[in-house]
Amino acid sequence: GAVVSQHPSRVICKSGTSVKIECRSLDFQATTMFWYRQFPKQSLMLMATSNEGSKATYEQGVEKDKFLINHASLTLSTLTVTSAHPEDSSFYICSASWTSDDQPQHFGDGTRLSIL
């Protein structure tokens, strides 16, 4: 149980393109989804927290107009990297949880974004 699916797994695109990444909870309803960014050989850095039906809460230093997050249903959240540039190239990972305190977050397998 507690499967989180992320799509696509890899994206290669030109500079200036906007890229959408989907995160789905397959067998549970996710009250909260989280988006992380991870550079090679580094830890996961939280970008934003999204709750179904409300605006995402962004971490300090993360541009909300650059990284658009939509959490339209209890099973789907999307991250759109707008007008992507090479410095946005990274591994983006989502996680989902269905209760606030008692259960661990479950992670998707990430999206490798490469901007040429």
Partner 1 sequence: GESVGLHLPTLSVQEGDNSIINCAYSNSASDYFIWYKQESGKGPQFIIDIRSNMDKRQGQRVTVLLNKTVKHLSLQIAATQPGDSAVYFCAESLTGGGNKLTFGTGTQLKVEL
Which residues sit at the interface with partner 1, rule CB under 8 A?
A: 4, 6, 31-32, 34, 39-46, 49, 87, 90, 93, 95, 97-110, 112
Kindly state the greatest CA–CA separation across the chain: 42
CB of 97 to partner 1, least distance (A): 4
Cβ proximity to partner 1: between 19 and 111 the closer is: 111
Smallest gap from Cβ 29 to partner 1, in A, equals 12
Handedness of CA 99, 42, 1, 23 (dihedral sign): positive
Task: Between 65 and 87, name the residue whose CB sits nearer to partner 1.
Answer: 87
b/e map of 43-54 (b: 16 or more CB within 10 Å)? eeeebbbbebee
Residue number with CB closer to partner 1 (72 or 109): 109
Residue 41: CB partners within 8 Å, gap ≥ 6? Answer: none
